[in-house]
Structure 1
Amino acid sequence: MTGTSSVNMSRSVAGTVAVYGAFLVLCFAVAATGGIANSYGLSGWYPTLVKPSFNPPNWLFGPVWTVLYIMIAVSGARLVLSPAEDKEPAIALYGVQLALNAAWSWVFFYGQAMGAAAIVIVAMWLAILGNIVFAWSKDRVASLLLIPYLAWVSFATVLNIAIWRLNS
């Protein structure tokens, strides 16, 4: 290996690590933003709501979302680093689903608007599905990493609607 190719490889590895790091920071910033909103509702309002029998215990949400945010970050980094052409729609939908992810907590927990939160979460579900579909031909692993996220948001959508119905 020549000195020049060694330097180029080091830059390439450093760039890849930087992209993954940036996506981890981005996803955990979204998580922190949602966590701030959650703290408003979890302290007083949410515990008073009637919940369906399938409502998971509160302690489960943190570990599940931590794993999901890591998978979402890896998916986004892989998509950006993919050599595929025309990946802009998938990247745009990635941004949309993250923005809706952050917005949902503010609408549901801070705003205590369960019906509006149901609209937000359905839009988020559609954005995640679109992200999976558009990313499929660009990076299949990036797509597959979002399937557990889609599954959890599917469950969360049913839960959101059930809580809204039970408390309307």
Structure 2
Amino acid sequence: MKKKVILYSIFAIVFSFAMEALGGAFYLLRDPAVDSFAASPLTPPPIVFPIAWTILYGLLAASFALILIRSDGKEGLLYLLNGVLSVLWTYIYFGKANPGGALILLVVLIALTLYMFYRAYQTDRLAACLLLPYLLWLAFATVLTYDLALLN
């Protein structure tokens, strides 16, 4: 049992922060057009984003680990899909300079995360609660992306 907890925890942490690193790479390799986008008046200072995402990926990793441990790995697929879609959002927004496409993907991400919350709540309530800041951030990101899609 202890070995399983350690392995699932390491996997959840490595996966979550690998997704953050991939997203960061797409940001660094962004299309130059992104830098010319008119910003939403709600856009926080640039330093907020890496801090927020590091915290959010930490919470996602903790939730993911709890779900893997409590469900014997069966419920982890939703977290894997969420991580891939999150990276895809970064690619679409920054790599392709496409806020409209990114907005559509954000709606999908929110729906998936709500389903993840529902499923997690049935398995481990703490794991579900750890998803709430991520859901709030996705909602805020949707408002920002909507503004950017309209402005650009």
Band the TM-score falls in, shorter-chain normalisation: over 0.9
* CA RMSD, 1 decimal: 1.7
- Candidates 85, 89, 92, aligned match of 1:100: 85
User: In the alignment, is the contact (CA less than 8 A) between 2:63 and 2:130 conserved in 1?
Assistant: yes
- Candidates 117, 135, 139, aligned match of 1:150: 135
User: In the alignment, is the contact (CA less than 8 A) between 2:38 and 2:148 conserved in 1?
Assistant: yes
Match of 1:141 in 2: 126
Q: Which runs of 4+ in 1 moved over 6 A?
A: none
Deviation at 1:115, TM superposition (A): 0.9
Structure 1 range deviating more: 63-72 or 92-101: 92-101
Deviation at 1:16, TM superposition (A): 1.3
Alignment of 1:108-119 (within 5 A): 108-119=93-104
Q: How many Å separate the matches in 2 of 1:130 and 1:83?
A: 16
Alignment of 1:9-158 (within 5 A): 12-41=1-30, 44-82=32-70, 88=74, 90-158=75-143
SS at match of 2:42: coil
Q: How many Å separate the matches in 2 of 1:46 and 1:160?
A: 12
Deviation at 1:23, TM superposition (A): 0.7
Q: Which runs of 5+ in 1 are unaligned?
A: 1-11
Q: How many Å separate the matches in 2 of 1:125 and 1:161?
A: 14
The Cα offsets for residues 72-112 of structure 1, whole Å up to 9 and x where unpaired, read as 0110110011158xx84x43322221111110000000011
- 2:151 matches 1:166: yes
- TM-score scaled by length of structure 1: 0.84
Deviation at 1:121, TM superposition (A): 1.1
Q: Which runs of 5+ in 2 are unaligned?
A: none
Alignment-mate amino acid for residue 163 of structure 1:
L
Alignment-mate amino acid for residue 16 of structure 2:
C
Alignment-mate amino acid for residue 61 of structure 2:
A
Identity within the alignment, %: 28
User: In the alignment, is the contact (CA less than 8 A) between 1:94 and 1:127 conserved in 2?
Assistant: no
Deviation at 1:61, TM superposition (A): 0.4
Alignment-mate amino acid for residue 98 of structure 2:
A
Q: How many Å separate the matches in 2 of 1:28 and 1:94?
A: 13
User: In the alignment, is the contact (CA less than 8 A) between 2:4 and 2:69 conserved in 1?
Assistant: no
